[in-house]
Structure 1
Amino acid sequence: MIVNEKEILMKFLKFFIRTSTNNFSIIILISSLLITACIPQQAETGKFDQTTISFAVPKYIKDTYIPLADAFEIENPGISIQIVTPSEFYELWNEEDLFNLASAADTSFHLSSQELLQNQTFFLDLLPLMENDPEFEMEDFWMGSLSACRDETGKIVGLPLDLNMTGMMVDKPAFDKINITAPAPGWGWNEFVNDLQVLGAKQDLVYLDSQTFFTSVLAAQIDPFLSDEDELSQRLLDYENAVKAGQIHAYDENQSIGERQTLIDDQKPALWAASLNQAIEVIAAQEQTEPTWSFVPYPLGEGTISTSPFGVRCAMISQGSQHPHEATLWLKFLSEHWLVTADQVDRYQYIPARISVADSSGFWNELPETVEDTVRFGLAHAWYKSEDSERLSWIQQIFDSVMTGETNLQTALAAGMNSLSPSETRTPVPAIAIATPQKTSTNSDNQSIKFYSDAIDQLTMQAILEEYQKTHPEISIELIHQNNFMNIDLENYTRNYDCFTGLSSYVNNSSLYKEDELLAINAFLDLEPEISSDFYPDQLKLYTREGELLALPATQALSTFTYNADLLNELGVVLPSNDWSVDEFLNLINAAPAQSSAEMEVYGYAMISDRLLLASKEIGIENATSDFQFTSEKSISTANWLKSLVDDNIVVRNPADAPNRVALLVAAGQVAIWDTSFNGWFFNGEVPDFLTEEVAMPFTSKPLSVNPGGQAYYISRHARDPQACWNWISFLSSQPAASKYWPVRQTVATSGEWQSLVGSEAVELFTAMQERELAYANMSPQEQNLQKIWVEAMKAIYEGLPARTVLSDAQKQYDDYLTCMQINLPPDASYDQISEISEGCIFSE
């Protein structure tokens, strides 16, 4: 097949438009080549031969791989990826053998490496292909994971894409109650057996095992001893005795999910087998200050250091493929990505098989620290498959009979240890032929994009979309709406959606921002200056990085306060109004505790940040004013004043030993007023038992620095059609129904539709906040570190250390930091360079 030169150049031009607004010289060069391409020339046979590689996936996950295929084709212009869907779900993958799957496409994957190895004759050995690629880094795969896709002859049937781990949930209070140490990474089989016996004396069921034998606590423990009757017998006997004593509910492959959950809910085992994704769901749902559940690897044993069962998804190449080299490049490319979508609820079930991908994809970012330790330990002690799967399968069969009472363990082992029959011979595999379909042509006039948003309710967003498409029928927009607040990694959105609603911090928070993932929208906005002028002052600046505007503001967060109206009325304290001053704020928080009774202690203000209290003394820590000194009498007296507010219960804060104290007191109705932004934390989505009202921030004599918040519309640099995305999000930003909370465009805020949607009280509050002189700016690295030093100093002062001494030490730390910055900071440093040098200077001590 000869590919048109113009088609290839157009693909590159489209890529450069997607990825940068500054590649003008390259675009000019490509444009000139396009002109040349349009002139008839003598074809050079084979110069633009296009190889098509087919890739089989279930239909329901096809969309996950479309952007990956597009990205691969840009990197490899001579190869085209054709995604085929031989069945809706995994029907073809679950057939008795995989001949039909191998016949469906050049490449595919299988979720079970064990089943794949039973069908290894249908697929190519990848080892020679890997060894012939000097850039293939086998050491980048987690230790032992390649062996999961390798058969007993050394043939590598598949390339690992991702791994899934099974471990144990631990009910820590059950262990604390009887004063024994709860399991942790590195515990042993003997400890496990002992825990079963000790806990078994206190409760009926101690351990609920996995549903499958392979992921049970038993399989990996016995695998090294399949030919050692004594060791094998002892481990099987430990398990059998614990089952008979009711301490273990044995693995049960017929157990339904509902039956399993009933066992957990009703019998409350102290330990139960769980996948990594299940563990994260349970731990994330914990509301207690002290976590109830933890997640640990399976126990180690003597001679069994690999005891954590890991499943592997292996990608393979069909024996019938005519293009194994190109197919290998595609599988290698897939292995270099975390193959999940941003809205995938079980995404943590899939651990990237490459170490570099796990580190760069954000996989570790969302894991609780204790869970990360468990996963890393599990990966270092992973058990992927048996070295003698046939013998292990036989052991399972006889042990199943033991568990049902059909036979005796010792009798069965004695009769069978040396009489395992050889495997039956496999019939020759018929020739595999693959019909590779051609890439279907697309109509360039038909714009199609995927848009993700959870900013407003789905019905409202759908209604806005339907209205938009009445006048823009040429744009096809697939709306994805799912509350997915735990997925904050930027690439989860830029690699799966053309445009999306996201956090405001994706631009200037160095831990969330990722280079070359967001498309700058300056060029779009320059063509529509009326949109720029409609935004409230400084809103666009919040989303600008190194001169590039990387998002269109969607909503803003207002720094308002919420107060307990029932409490203030009961205490006879005057309710605040939107035009109140900082002095009136201080009067309120002093008055409330003065009315405390023996029945209930009352606090004035829930302090998570002291910015307003500092502003009342005209100290702007967050503004890093040039004349600020930690050791000034004003700073020292203010620090002592803050401590007295805490000591007198006028202000309540979170001490180190009670990190949830403020939230508990607010939710209990014992605090008069607090920052509205923390309502989600304080009430956990529940409606409090008392009446609350919202009020504007008090007027202060100096501009008060506030943390910029809200949401914005982003366009991915990988978007298929950036212009279609821009047309949609610019329209969306003008819609009152999409700005139901706090609008960023003046025409929206003044529209009758928005004011009718939110009501007069919200309009008054919003108007009052616009009258405040606030510093809506992202804090510079210097300001951030000044604030860090102040916060740490105040912690020491609240603990009782002398303010003058503590602040003197803080001043020295800040002076050293400034000296370090002066020495190391180049005059033309970028924001990222400043952040990196600043971080090094603050921790240089």
Structure 2
Amino acid sequence: MKYFRLFTTKKITNIIPIILFISLLITACNPQSGAMEDSPRTTITFAAAGFFQKQYETLIEEFESQTPSIHVQFVPLEEATPGETLEHTLAASLADVVMISPPQGQDIYYYLDIEPILETDQLFDASAFWPGSLDGCRAEGRLIGIPLSIQTLLVMYDEAAFDEIGLDHPAPGWSWDDFQEAAQLLTKRSNGEVTRYGFVDYNHPTSLLAPLIDAVNRQNGNEYDPVKLTNALDWYVSLAQSGNIPSDYRAEEAGEVRNYISTGQAAMWVDALSSLEERRNELGESIAVAPFPQGGINGNQKTTQAWASCGLVSAGTAHSLEALTWLQFLSTQGVPGINSLAIPANRAAAEESGYWNSLDVNTAAAARYALEHGWYGAASNLPFEQIGQALNDAKTGEIILADVLELIRMDQIAAIPPTPQSTPFAVATPKPPIISVPLSGDTIVVDYFVDSSDLADKETIEALAQAFMLEHPDIIIRLEDFKSSGLPYINFDLMAENYGCFIYQSGLADYYVSQLYNLQPLIDAGDEGQDLLNDLPESEILRNQLNGDLYALPVADRPTVLYYNKDIFIEKGVPFPALDWSWSDFWQAAIAVASEDVYGFVPINGREFINILLAAEGIELYDFTTDSPVINFNDPKFHAIVSNLEEMGNDGVIPTIDEHIDWNKGNTQFRFNEVQSGKAAMWLNMAGIEYGGYFPPGTTNFEVGVAPVPSFGYPLMPMNKGTAFYISRQAENPTACWEWINFLSDKPEALAGIPLRQSILESERYEQIVGVELATVYRAVMEHPRQEILADYSEKYPSYPLYLWWPDTLASVFEGVPVTQALTELQGKSEAYLNCVESNSDPLNEDVWKGCAKLVDPDFQSLLYSE
């Protein structure tokens, strides 16, 4: 299988020399290295969601103060592996301790069986945890983690229904006989129809019965016995056949599930304790909870379903004792990222957390009892899914339960072979130590914000910061990103307020000049400053100047480029896009590579694509910035563009383009899905995005190429996707900030997009980082004419209705409306709207222009999100 790589692998390769260089210097310059031998400190790594890094680092600081012999290094999972999911094979190699979703199947063998270690650990006290909760971290008999929190299922019920018939409420210790009686008595009927069921299971009977089923199996020596199981479950089938439990959950509308609970047609059901507040908000304060029933075969032990969130220890760790010490500490804390309604697995931690104070007395009693009698899964490989289906089939009365259970063949149930993972692996080596420089009165600290969307990953910037600090021992670079900043969101104002220097969208000096430090004196201070400016495109300098002074240092551009599936081009025998190809070449290629299953081109952002086509023809659809507004929907060039798109759509070369502002009403999501599923031969996105921006790493089985947009760079296509370094006016030491951003501007591995410095773009080092092919494409893109810088402007009349109308008109053409008719109607509607707002004394008033839009288009409201 082939995987597309633009520069990830090469980036890592280029970071390694930096890290090695730093490590050598640290070793050579650290006079205390010998002293450390007297007090060895073990470093372990801990991987968890990067979003909670700051909270975890607070816990790490507390842990290390209590256990100075162990240093915990945090590994943010999202930064280590971008994408929606993380494979256990990778997670277990990233860190000694991992917080991740439970492994299944053979993946369990990537984690250490810690039971033998805990048995010899005199400090470990199993009784500190809720009874049986360690089993919540057990897989195939192996204890692969320590429980950190517990959640339970409970029987949820409506107290009002019980009170209505004078029936005692369920209480801890109630029996299965009590449950049966309640289900029968609580069922209400009217004219022969059930209006309220005693119990509702939504065709998941094992959500209630699994502990009982397991108890039958355990009593039989973990041997599946359909006869004994039938004897234990027949009563449940009888309840359903008597109309006390529904067997049909189909609603009148196909595909829908009848919601008995929300409509008040259920007296009892199974639900999570964490859902209680939500249910009370929905149904009222009469909703309460009780533990699962008990008695008979399953006695009073392990009766209520529960599950644990566990901290796992990698099987590749070289520091198992230290890893377990850290996990035991975590079990006594409030662990970030775990459901806030979950209960701490450590009993003392549950008491100290104040959790019980958040519950009413009866709920707390039910939850405590459930935890004391928690069931965390079967001791054997019971076929719960098949047993549950057998119960559902028998509930209808058409099949006898014993007959269906008899058909379940245990020898055909897939079991995990009890063979440990045999492939040896090791946990990744911790990062080299960060330079620690004691702060003194002469030390300069630069607070810098790392934006991962505009820069390389934080690890790369950290390595570069270390290299910079070795060159400038009097300066400390303190890095923060969004996850570690504690900020509620990111915008320019917050950047300028909280950081000395930062990277952000280019060309904003005119808007934020009061918050920015003037870079011109720093540039004029020496020849190097002017040399730097001479290395940048003049248009980018002008964009960031104000009255001849520079307020931002432009560093990278992220123009729109074309991405394409190389495998499809090769399969169809179509040459790859040339660096100087035309729009005619583009459409010929799109037609040639299109097939029944693949579009030749998919524009995810339809508006952007149309604007590019318009710019190629040098036209604007409308201009309301002057005293004489212009509307060009009847322009022959636009007619030709729309006609061509219609033809391409009819031929299956492109999909329909419906750019309704509400994604739920347009087909933007469909186009996105077509690209992501590999059904697009070509698509557009910003430069500098690996995988073309729509594929998580490791999910593509084809190679992606990059090409310029045909004849890119038209004067009428304003675009400002570049990035620049800014220094805040509040920076404590602007000169140090300047040194740092000047240093970064010379490091292509630090930037996302295309470097603006000509010397960097043309360098062999840049080719080594992104590859010769991509470097060649990016150079060609930057050789195209740059678009004009458009001055800030304001409209005389609101053009927003036209912004909504023309994509709607384009969609109608794809649906079959003739092009001439569609554009003529659009031109007329737009002119009528303009006449209306022009005749009003307050055209910018929202009520006025919306009223005009609705006057000429009664359906205008449907184009908006809401009134």
TM, length-normalised to structure 2: 0.42
Q: Which has the higher contact order (CA 8 A, sep 6+)?
A: 2
TM, length-normalised to structure 1: 0.43
Larger radius of gyration: 2
